[in-house]
Structure 1
Amino acid sequence: MDKFEQIFNHFLTCVTTLQEALNVSFGEALTETFDNLETGKIKVEMGAPDQATVAKLSKLYAGLDYDNLSHKMKVQVFTYLTLKAINDDGRDANQMPTPPIISTVVALLMQKLLPNKKLEVVDPALGTGNLLYSVINQLKAENHSRDNYQLVGIDNDEEMLNLADIAAHLNNLKIDLYCQDALTPWMVEAADAVVSDLPIGYYPVDENAKNFATKSLKGHSLAHLLFVEQIIKNLKPGGWSFLIVPKSILAGKGGADFMPWLSEKVYLKAIVELPDNLFKNKFNEKSILVFQNHGENAVSSEVLLTKLDSLKQQEALIKFNVKLNEWYTKINH
């Protein structure tokens, strides 16, 4: 058994021991385990966990030697345990973390297009924070660790936000978190940039959907379309959006209705089709959609249209970066 597997299994024992003692979901036990380890104190409320469990956990925690584990190891273990929490607790597929390779493509686009100044970056469908944190870490690494980003996360699931809070702490990132339906008015200022892997499916609150131009005329409206509209409403003039969206809304029948509307509202900048082999079936296929809000020196330009080859090979990223650089040079001369 390798070192990572050994440490992962030790953490897993800590989480399941607490889960059984408190009779809570895996996700809640995971949040509390990392809280305990970060504060160096086992939280006891109304006699739970009991003294025997506290003694057992103390021994388990001591065996972890948490303070001497590397930052990378803590983040890695927490990420895998979060995946387990989403699976074990029967969570929605929309709450699965975004694959890291997609974060790299988004980071390349942001690095090229965003101004090098202090920016408020919002993810209105934060989930566990995987996409946002991965992107920001890559941008910071490219910028000599300089932190230009004021982060905001919105989600309507408190348990997901608790996991996102722990993940931010482990990644040494500061973020303001808001628990709300992101399709109601945001409690934050307009964003310089939005980064999000949009939830796919139907939005159940028909009364609120009536406030959107992208609502369905019959039945429930599509949440991902409403999200795009809500994001545009909450972007600063000239603000940028980097969204992972269903491929179906950009082409075919879905695109025939949506794309003309979108093209009137914002300047389309890039559509990057993700490799088919990233998704289990055709209906799950996604693309990265990049647009800029009108105003603040924003202008129309040629749109970068490309499809990525299999992201299992490094060459695909290199080829994409070359295309991105060529396109960027062309639109800026």
Structure 2
Amino acid sequence: MNSTKMEELYTYLDDVALYLETNGEVTYLEGLAEAGENLFRGEVCQSVNPEQKKWLLDKLSSMDLESVSKEDVRKAYQLAVLKGMKGAVQPHHSMTPDAVCLFLSYLVNKVLNKSEEPAVLLDLAAGSGNLVNAILNQSNKSLSAGAFEVDETLLKLAFVSANLQKHELQLFHQDSIEPIAFQEVDLVVTDLPVGYYPKDQIAQDYVLKAEEGHSFIHHLMIEQAINKTKAGGFLFFLVPNFLFQSEQAKQLHEYVKGKANILGLLQLPKSMFQSDQFGKSIFMLQKKGEQTRQPKQALLAELPSFNKKDSLADMMKQINKWFQEELSI
């Protein structure tokens, strides 16, 4: 059987990550970033002994990056990251599922294709960069991006992944709830971290801060995202299904309604999650501006399983019709 380019790249990344984990003082995920760095630079970047260097060079010479498509690079890299995350203990090491990345890319293309101008995208919690890279790969127009990630290992993985896919992606090693120096953008897409934000002093500057105790990080990030979006710009968040059921939900709803038009809430298939409590939805907003208006009818739907091609095609027809009727796109 001929292995595909994606499988060949995955094998290279996995073999080198394992080798560096076994022979060096690095984790599999750190080794994976090193494997990608070697491939991008076309040389061995690690301080290793001659025998190890020969092994790494032999591996490197067996791999031709130019023959692999950007999407295959992303998928091979993502598979290796997923393998590494199974071994990692940090609960925040999780990845936006591939089907969700592609569905969000479809929604992004819907709203961006209305304009001919190049656009700028922002992700406030990039993780290993899978979501932002998927959107850049699928975009039909000139799109550059900025992304923030507080975890150093995930940031390095995102950096190497973007390099291998030749994307114009500015990465920042920073907690994006803190004041950030980044231009206003046309679009925000973020898989929101869920939980409490520990830095109460920084949260004090937010309208959505808690009256007492820690504030919700997912609420603060929505506020930061709206602040960083141009008038008329779009925002897509992956949110927990319980977003509007918490004790601070009323405050969040009123704030969002004041700043943006709520376009819709698309619930992801239940089959994607271990239990209902982990279920997520895509929350769609447009920041208010002179040319914007609140849709007469928000787009509310429960998405069918991404494996059910016919049901999904029907749903996308309905979504296309909604965009045409409500937003003229």
Residue 95 of structure 2: SS of its match in structure 1? coil
1:97 correspondence with 2:95:
yes
The answer as to whether partners of 1:18 and 1:49 remain within 8 angstroms in 2 is no
Change (3 A) 1:316 1:254: farther
Unaligned ranges ≥5, structure 1:
141-146
Aligned equivalents of 2:273 and 2:67: distance in 1?
A: 34
1:30 correspondence with 2:32:
yes
What does residue 14 of structure 2 align with? 12
Could you say what the CA RMSD is over the residues aligned between the two structures, in angstroms?
Answer: 2.2
1:250 offset after TM fit, Å? 3.1
Aligned equivalents of 1:168 and 1:235: distance in 2?
A: 23
Residue 301 of structure 1: SS of its match in structure 2? coil
1:230 correspondence with 2:224:
yes
Aligned equivalents of 1:332 and 1:265: distance in 2?
A: 18
Change (3 A) 1:250 1:120: same
Aligned residue identity for 2:324: T
Residue 310 of structure 1: SS of its match in structure 2? coil
The answer as to whether partners of 2:238 and 2:281 remain within 8 angstroms in 1 is yes
Aligned equivalents of 1:58 and 1:80: distance in 2?
A: 23
What does residue 55 of structure 1 align with? 54
Residue 126 of structure 1: SS of its match in structure 2? coil
What does residue 127 of structure 2 align with? 127
1:214 correspondence with 2:208:
yes
Change (3 A) 1:312 1:249: same
Residues 279-311 of structure 1: CA deviation (Å, up to 9, x unaligned): 111211111011111124122222111111122
Q: Which runs of 4+ in 1 moved over 6 A?
A: none
The answer as to whether partners of 2:42 and 2:60 remain within 8 angstroms in 1 is no
1:312 correspondence with 2:312:
no
What does residue 144 of structure 1 align with? none
What does residue 321 of structure 2 align with? 326
Aligned equivalents of 1:331 and 1:150: distance in 2?
A: 27
1:19 offset after TM fit, Å? 2.2
The answer as to whether partners of 1:238 and 1:295 remain within 8 angstroms in 2 is yes
Please report the TM-score for the alignment, with normalisation by the length of structure 2. 0.90
Residues 147-192 of structure 1: CA deviation (Å, up to 9, x unaligned): 4212111111222121112211222321111111100112210111
1:2 offset after TM fit, Å? 7.0
Change (3 A) 1:78 1:108: closer
Aligned residue identity for 1:242: F
Aligned equivalents of 2:76 and 2:102: distance in 1?
A: 20
The answer as to whether partners of 2:273 and 2:279 remain within 8 angstroms in 1 is yes
The answer as to whether partners of 1:267 and 1:294 remain within 8 angstroms in 2 is yes
Residues 88-117 of structure 1: CA deviation (Å, up to 9, x unaligned): 232334x32211211232223222223322
The answer as to whether partners of 1:248 and 1:254 remain within 8 angstroms in 2 is no
Change (3 A) 1:14 1:119: same
The answer as to whether partners of 1:277 and 1:310 remain within 8 angstroms in 2 is yes
1:316 offset after TM fit, Å? 3.1
Which residues in structure 2 correspond to 1:135-146 (within 5 Å)?
135-140=135-140
The answer as to whether partners of 2:146 and 2:170 remain within 8 angstroms in 1 is yes
Residue 120 of structure 2: SS of its match in structure 1? strand
* Deviates further, 153-162 or 68-77: 68-77
The answer as to whether partners of 2:238 and 2:283 remain within 8 angstroms in 1 is yes
* Deviates further, 4-13 or 313-322: 4-13
Identity of aligned residues (%): 25
The answer as to whether partners of 1:270 and 1:291 remain within 8 angstroms in 2 is yes
Aligned equivalents of 2:278 and 2:248: distance in 1?
A: 14
